[in-house]
Structure 1
Amino acid sequence: MCELVGVSKSGYYNWLGRPEAATKVRRRKLALLVESKFKASDMTYGYRRPAAALKRKGTVVSPDTVRSIMREKGLKAAQPRRKVRTTIPADDIDTRPDLVDRDFTAEAPGLKWVGDITYIRTWVGFVYLATVLDCCYPRKSSATPWPTT
């Protein structure tokens, strides 16, 4: 192998036994510190905050070095999500009648039904939740919350 590359055997073994460069050792230690700061932030910090935290602790490091280490380690900060408009109110919303007159009680089951829709943000997008409720429950307080008949 040495002949193929054009290196003497003694030169190869000299290189093999050489101690690791101080810069490489320092960078490896910095990488551990940067990674711990990043994970402590629930993976939300970019490169500036870990650099500032290390500086406060007395470790001199350039923000560009922190950015480079984060890139090498594949550490990506959570980006703010853009606001998504999921509903658009109707133009005549104020003129529509309130058919239940904000009274969500009914004397018997099946007389008054109300519904609503909302959305829940998930990692893969939005999930919409539609609910429909039967408004039947006793108006007067009683021991049981629902009619037994």
Structure 2
Amino acid sequence: MKREGIDVARCTVARLMRRMGLNGVVRGKPVKTTISDKATSCPLDRVNRQFQALRPNALWVSDFTYVATWRGFVYVALRQMLRICADVIDTFARRIVGWRVSRTAHADFVLDALEQALHDRRPFAATGLVHHSDRGSQYVSIRYTERLAEAGIEPSVGSVGDSYDNALAETINGLFKAEVIHRRGPRRNLEAVEFATLEWVDWFNNRRLLEPIGNIPPAEAEAAYHAQLEVVPIAA
């Protein structure tokens, strides 16, 4: 409604929803999924909870969560790129640039999500991209850190047992579970979770309105950033 220029109170929306028999999405309780390896050395925290960036391909945050199916648990890894578009609207976008679904929480499936992000975004080493995650053993594994180094990406890892150090990634995962998994109940199998995730990621990136970036979708905020870059040279 705000996007259409309609100013309405939250209580009014709640009252109308009750009248129409509509219920808001409620998030479930968080579950610990991070298993750190104390014997593995970790990179420094280069983000320090400052989840902001002035341009695309400056900061990626990563996390994974688990969801229940009728045939047991599967894991979902989501990779988000966080950016603030330095333009007239002064926004940042929260576009998901890589994801994978797996039956196990081995390092391979988060590495696959990283590969998808690298293929989709094709960042250059000179851009100074930082990749931030928690201290999960998958993200500090030798294979994962070596792949980051090959791509010219600077690793960053939060502290142990502090969700605020990777708050944005956990927020996106929370939205995914609330809007996809909890809303319609457990999926039948891994393939059903994959299809539901594919649909949700497309909707989230291209149609979901996010209040922190001005009630527009992530793709629209990113397009506005690039459009501004094209305008500046012409004006000069």
TM-score by length of 1: 0.34
The answer to which structure, 1 or 2, has the higher relative contact order (CA under 8 A, 6+ apart) is 2
Q: TM-score, normalised by structure 2?
A: 0.23
Structure showing greater Rg: 1
